[in-house]
């Protein structure tokens, strides 16, 4: 069975992730969503083009967020002023390719865990993402970031203080 992956946010990072996933596994069940639907059109025929973020979340077990600001993450995960994630993400792996600052990310991590999901963080950068041994892999590659951000190692699981 092909893995089911959704990418929300089809800017530069999301588009690179989609291309790499399709190159690694042309049979992948890939769903794409962007608030600007035209950004997904280049993938028509190779991926399902969702009409809403909620549809993209429902279609897959792995959700790749390639969103530029925390506000877009909150809208996608339906996280409102109480801080709770209300989108149906129980049992899903959420990979954030462009995470907010560490203190806000810890709050997001707790909210995702409370909703039954698992958060995986990757540093901001160009992205190398694909399948290896039947598993989703990802690695950020520095491209025009500050040196400090480029040296920040990827983290997985619960965000903790170092």
Please list the rounded mean pLDDT of every run of 10 residues in the chain (162 residues): 88 94 91 96 96 96 93 94 93 90 89 93 47 47 31 42 40
Look at residue 48 in the predicted model and tell me its pLDDT: 96
**pTM for the structure as a whole:** 0.76
pLDDT at 118: 92
Sign of CA dihedral 125, 75, 87, 157: positive
pLDDT at position 153: 40
Closest CA to 136 of 88, 81, 77, 94: 94
- CB contact at 8 A, 53 and 27: no
Residues 6+ apart with CB under 8 A from 50: 6, 31, 32, 33, 56, 59
Alpha-carbon distance of 52 to 76, in angstroms, equals 9
Residue 103 CA to residue 142 CA, distance in Å, equals 22
Please answer whether residues 152 and 123 qualify as being in contact, where contact means their C-beta atoms are separated by less than 8 angstroms.
Answer: yes
At residue 146, the pLDDT reads 26
CA dist., res. 151 & res. 51, Å (int):
36
Instruction: Describe the strand order of the beta sheet including 118-121 as a list of residue ranges.
Output: 48-49, 29-33, 4-8, 62-65, 93-96, 118-121, 155-156
How many Å apart are CA 88 and CA 106, to the nearest integer?
A: 20
> What is the model's pLDDT at position 3?
76
Q: Please name the residue ranges forming H helices in 32-122.
A: 53-59, 70-77, 102-114
């Amino acid at each position: 069975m092909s893995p089911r992956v959704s990418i929300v946010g089809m800017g530069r990072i999301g588009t690179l992730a989609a291309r790499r996933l399709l190159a690694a596994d042309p049979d992948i069940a890939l769903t794409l969503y962007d608030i600007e639907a035209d950004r997904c059109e280049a993938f028509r025929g190779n991926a399902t083009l969702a009409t809403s973020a909620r549809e993209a979340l429902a279609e897959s077990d792995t959700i790749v967020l390639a969103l530029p600001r925390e506000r877009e993450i909150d809208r996608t995960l339906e996280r409102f002023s109480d801080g709770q994630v209300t989108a149906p993400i129980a049992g899903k792996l959420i990979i954030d390719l462009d995470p907010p600052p560490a203190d806000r990310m810890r709050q997001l991590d707790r909210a995702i865990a409370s909703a039954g999901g698992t958060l995986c963080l990757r540093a901001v950068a160009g992205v190398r993402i694909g399948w290896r041994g039947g598993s989703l892999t990802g690695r950020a590659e520095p491209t025009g970031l500050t040196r400090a951000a480029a040296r920040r190692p990827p983290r997985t699981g619960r965000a903790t203080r170092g």
